[in-house]
Amino acid sequence: MSARPTKRKQPSGTKDARSTAQVIEILCNRIRHGTLVPGQRLVEADIVKDTGASRGRVREALKKLESQGLVSIEEFRGASVRQLSMDEVRQIYKSRMALEGMLAAEFAASDQTALKKRLQGIQERMNDLEKTGDHRRFAKLNDEWHGLIIKASGNQYAAHFLSQLSVPVYRLLFASFYSSQRIDKANADHRLVTGAIIEGKPRAAEKAMRNHIIDGFAALMEMHEKMQI
């Protein structure tokens, strides 16, 4: 009688090993909630131990976070949460103000009924969030709203420049500190921009978008002062 084949034992932790996407999500959440702060080192061995992911997946996650602007990786020093001075953030917002204002005007001047209708739909969903304090949902819709305006402008060069002008660490932190009053103020700005675009008023759209970016920077500065980051 032949011996029954034995099942090969899986290495411990293989089944539940974290994916690269899960490691990215864990690190983003820690940055969002202030567990990891700008300038803090990200030690691969610690992340492997904390997440249960392989070293290869941790390295891949860190590289992807670097491409997203959340992490800095330096030779001999390793990875750390990206840190920007507030002067650098100010320069980024000034550049965004000029570029996004221009793109809002271009979208308003265009004959893109379907995309304008889509923008209106996003706006209505944001309107429903007023007085709710649902900062996570609002932050997601805010990104969708800005992204649609940038894409609809058809200006690929400006879109590329804007993709390089992100301050993701601060945006992640900022998203967690949206109050219901901040959501209402930001959405009041959104309504002005959306209305001008749908009505085909380029100058009004540009002015409203520039004001919106200025207001966003002022709120970010206020948060920065409170958190002392």
pLDDT in tens, 116-135: 999 999 999 999 988 787 77
Domain boundaries, the chain: 20-81, 86-227
- Answer whether 138's CB lies under 8 Å from 125's CB: no
Query: Architecture of domain 86-227 in CATH?
Result: Up-down Bundle (1.20)
Distance CA(227)–CA(229), nearest Å, equals 5
Phi first, then psi, for residue 74 (nearest 5°) are: -120, 145
Query: Which stretches of the chain are assigned E, i.e. beta strand?
Result: 41-42, 71-74, 78-81
pLDDT (tens digit per residue) in 60-97: 999 999 888 789 999 888 999 988 778 888 898 999 99
Question: How does residue 11 score in pLDDT terms, banded at 50, 70 and 90?
Answer: very low
The fold for domain 20-81 equals Arc Repressor Mutant, subunit A (1.10.10)
Q: How many angstroms separate the CA atoms of 120 and 6, rounded?
A: 62
